[in-house]
């Protein structure tokens, strides 16, 4: 007999918002647009839960996995059977066939199931996980603070500080002298009390150990993704110098991978993204693994309020006291437009409220009207000269 919490419908749609002014270039180029794969589950009692799956540079392909293969995995399950969905997906599609878009699809489904479970229970998802009230320091991350002059970076950081932030992530990787000039200017202008994180976005074109020395001297929180994930040995070698903590995780998949990276000293800061790593359920497992190894747990974020609320839910569930990565951009319709609510970021703090589920409002009609999805990658190809 069908129960009220049984999942009777599962659907994914792609939505796009193009930047009016594209963010400054970072190590992976300059992004053209935000792509969102919205996952929707419906329960027998009419409850709707939403999640965000990472687009994986092919959002329509991720949506296709949700709308076809994952139907038989999810439909007929109860809203609280997240672990069963995880196990079947791993056994059938991840272990034997590789990760691909299935891990992204699973991520969005898992988040949507937690949202639906909370709504059907009339309780916030973080309370269902027996978490403490989620409230965390926030640092300014996302697509902000790309390559610029030291003067422009300092002005940007001062603006963020005026908004209450006491920490921000600076992009590095466009040349040793330029990188050093920026981070030294930031430290000098903002003072020792302002926390500085750095992100190389998968690598630099020079000996990164030189920059690591400078970052250690200014007390940087971490150097994120100085190499591509296939270069784990290089992570270990740089970590062994003990100049600055290394961070990674948005491109790692599964608690087992994080256990290996952290256990062998490749990274000291774990940064899973709930929309890429398997959802809330898998991210909690990663949080516990990270804490057991004595490393820092500072998740990466994706585009929407759904991801941000799910991230705070995970952090609260594992008892984290570390930083939440906030999206400080003034305009993001997937955070403060067609999708809104959930995470509250104010005066350098991030928190969740008492609303059921993830506490996020989704206006599907507005999404379909104003943000029709585009295919392909939101990161245009960087053309080389010569």
- What percent of the chain is modeled with pLDDT above 90? 83
Domain 127-358: give its CATH architecture: Alpha-Beta Barrel (3.20)
Q: pLDDT tens digit string along 184-195? A: 999 999 999 999
CA distance 122 to 331: 31
CA distance 330 to 45: 37
**In DSSP terms, which residues pair with 198 in a beta bridge?**
170, 223
Assessment of whether the complete model's pTM goes beyond 0.85: yes
Beta strands per DSSP E along 272-371: 296-297, 324-326, 339-341, 344-346, 349-351, 360-362
Q: Give the pairing of strands 324-326 and 48-53.
A: unpaired
CA distance 168 to 160: 8
**In DSSP terms, which residues pair with 361 in a beta bridge?**
340
Task: Tell me the two tokens of residue 293.
Answer: 């190894």
Per-residue pLDDT at 383: 59
What is the helix (H) or strand (E) element at residue 176, kind and residue range? helix 176-190
Please check whether residue 128 is in contact with residue 118, taking contact to mean a CB–CB distance below 8 angstroms: yes
The answer to which of 37-51, 142-156, 162-176, 188-202 has the lowest mean pLDDT is 142-156
Q: pLDDT tens digit string along 211-264? A: 999 999 999 999 999 999 999 999 999 999 999 999 999 999 999 999 999 999
Task: Provide the 8-state DSSP code for 27.
Answer: T
Please check whether residue 268 is in contact with residue 296, taking contact to mean a CB–CB distance below 8 angstroms: yes
Residue-level length of the chain? 386
Alpha carbon 231 to chain centroid distance? 21
Please check whether residue 316 is in contact with residue 351, taking contact to mean a CB–CB distance below 8 angstroms: no
User: Which sequence spans correspond to the domains of the chain?
Assistant: 7-122, 127-358
CA distance 94 to 281: 16
Please, what is the average pLDDT of the chain? Answer: 93
Q: Using pLDDT thresholds of 50, 70 and 90, give the confidence band for residue 99.
A: low
Cα end-to-end span (Å), the chain: 67
The answer to which of 1-10, 27-36, 129-138, 166-175 has the lowest mean pLDDT is 27-36
Rounded to the nearest 10 degrees, how much is the dihedral formed by the CA atoms of 231, 234, 236, 238? -140
3-state SS class at 224: strand
CA distance 150 to 313: 36
**In DSSP terms, which residues pair with 41 in a beta bridge?**
10, 49
Tokens 């269902």, located at residue: 128
CA distance 39 to 228: 29
3-state SS class at 3: coil
Per-residue pLDDT at 308: 98
Q: pLDDT tens digit string along 252-273? A: 999 999 999 999 999 999 999 9
Per-residue pLDDT at 98: 62
With both helix axes pointing from N to C terminus, report the angle between 100-121 and 305-317 in degrees, rounded to the nearest 10: 80
Per-residue pLDDT at 386: 44
Class of 7-122 per CATH?
Answer: alpha beta
Task: Tell me the two tokens of residue 209.
Answer: 């150990």
Q: pLDDT tens digit string along 286-307? A: 999 999 999 999 999 999 999 9
Cβ neighbours around 273 below 10 Å, total: 25
Q: Using pLDDT thresholds of 50, 70 and 90, give the confidence band for residue 312.
A: very high
Please check whether residue 171 is in contact with residue 163, taking contact to mean a CB–CB distance below 8 angstroms: no
Across 67-89, average pLDDT:
97
């Amino acid at each position: 007999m069908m129960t009220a919490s049984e999942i009777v419908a599962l659907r994914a749609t792609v939505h796009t918002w193009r930047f009016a002014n594209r963010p400054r270039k970072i190590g992976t180029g300059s992004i053209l647009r935000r792509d969102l794969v919205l996952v929707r589950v419906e329960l027998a009692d009419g409850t709707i839960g939403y999640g965000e799956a990472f687009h994986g540079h092919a959002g329509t392909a991720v949506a296709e996995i949700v709308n076809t293969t994952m139907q038989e995995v999810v439909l007929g399950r109860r809203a609280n059977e997240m672990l069963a969905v995880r196990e079947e997906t791993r056994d059938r599609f991840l272990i034997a066939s590789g990760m691909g878009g299935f891990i992204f699809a699973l991520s969005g489904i898992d988040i949507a199931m937690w949202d639906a479970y909370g709504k059907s229970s009339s309780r916030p998802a973080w309370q269902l996980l027996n978490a403490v009230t989620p409230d965390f320091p926030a640092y300014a991350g996302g697509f902000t603070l790309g390559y610029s002059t030291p003067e422009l970076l300092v002005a940007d950081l001062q603006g963020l500080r005026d908004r209450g932030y006491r920490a921000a992530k600076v992009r590095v990787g466009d040349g040793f002298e330029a990188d050093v000039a920026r981070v030294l200017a930031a430290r000098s202008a903002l003072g020792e009390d302002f926390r500085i994180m750095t992100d190389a976005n998968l690598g630099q074109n020079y000996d990164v150990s030189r920059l690591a020395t400078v970052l250690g001297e200014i007390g940087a929180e971490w150097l994120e993704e100085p190499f591509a994930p296939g270069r784990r040995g290089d992570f270990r070698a740089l970590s062994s110098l003990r100049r600055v903590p290394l961070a990674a995780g948005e491109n790692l998949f599964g608690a087992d991978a994080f256990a290996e990276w952290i256990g062998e000293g490749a990274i000291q800061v774990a940064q899973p993204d709930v929309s890429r790593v398997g959802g809330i359920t898998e991210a909690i497992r990663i949080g516990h693994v990270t804490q057991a190894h004595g490393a820092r747990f500072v998740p990466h974020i994706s585009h929407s309020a759904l991801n941000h609320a799910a991230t705070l839910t995970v952090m609260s569930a594992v008892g984290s006291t570390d930083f939440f990565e906030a999206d400080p951009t003034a305009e993001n319709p997937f955070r403060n437009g067609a999708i809104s609510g959930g995470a509250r970021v104010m005066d350098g703090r991030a928190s969740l409220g008492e609303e059921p589920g993830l506490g996020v409002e989704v206006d599907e009609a507005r999404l379909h009207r104003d943000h029709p999805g585009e295919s392909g990658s939101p990161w245009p190809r960087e053309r080389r000269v010569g």
